[in-house]
Structure 1
Amino acid sequence: MTDGDEKTDPDEDPGDHGTQTQTRQATSPATRLKRICALPEHVANRELTTNQKRARFIARDVRDYAEKAPAGLVLNSRTITKVITAVEGSKPHIQTVAHIMDFLEKLGKDDVEQTKRRGKKLVVVDEEAADRYHDRCDGDIEQTPAESVMS
């Protein structure tokens, strides 16, 4: 499958290049993960894959599951396994957890980083981004923030 066969990335405009793209991103830092978190439940159920829905579920309440560290909010595979097991009633496969971690990083762009410490995979979520993911799911999804979230 080529990039042309996939859904359009809402963060990228093929006709927008250079400074215009950088300016737009600086004033509108919405990542795909933020947009996915803001989707109404019925749309998420219809449009997202199972693992994307799992990543969305974790991102929306990441502060409840992650450990706070200087780098941000840290999730390990064991924590993700526990969350998914609690929600779905069965333990996810190791590869499923890896896919969820990959989706969090891919959809979160600069807000989410996947790393390894002592041989264990970790996902580190920026604390401000975690607040945006949560705020978007709790707030009025039709309303855009009045202030810039980039400092």
Structure 2
Amino acid sequence: MIQGKTIICEEVFMQLVRLAAEKVENVSLCESGSGGIMGFAKGLTGKNVPTIGVEKTDAEVDENGTVTRGHVSFALKVSVACDANIPEAIENLREAVVTEVVKITDFVVDKVDIIVARLDEPAKKAEPEKEPQTEEKTDNEENGSQE
């Protein structure tokens, strides 16, 4: 086997988080902006607080050929639908992130910190289209018989 180092950039991990978040109901990543909690955090720290924060250590191969898996941690800012159970929605997101990252990168996910920055209006459920009401006659009515 040819030796060499593979580095997975933070942007790839951010994309994986976005993919995972799209699969989870009632949760969405907060958009970057200067209002609300983002603006408040920037005012306190003087820095923009990112929607997705990534801290990672890359896999290492020692002189004996032993591979140490890479590790990654996340900090996410999300919004949750106001009619959702927040702990359940956040746990679903956390599990989705871990599953996606491990499946694609084989990194160990040490932690996924999640900040619920706001509540969103509940998602409108698509109502089934109502079929036009037509008068249907039963077999008895068509034959003129009555019971």
Q: TM-score, normalised by structure 1?
A: 0.28
Structure whose residues are more often helix by fraction: 1
The structure number with the bigger radius of gyration is 2
Structure whose residues are more often strand by fraction: 2
Q: TM-score, normalised by structure 2?
A: 0.29
Q: Which has the higher contact order (CA 8 A, sep 6+)?
A: 1
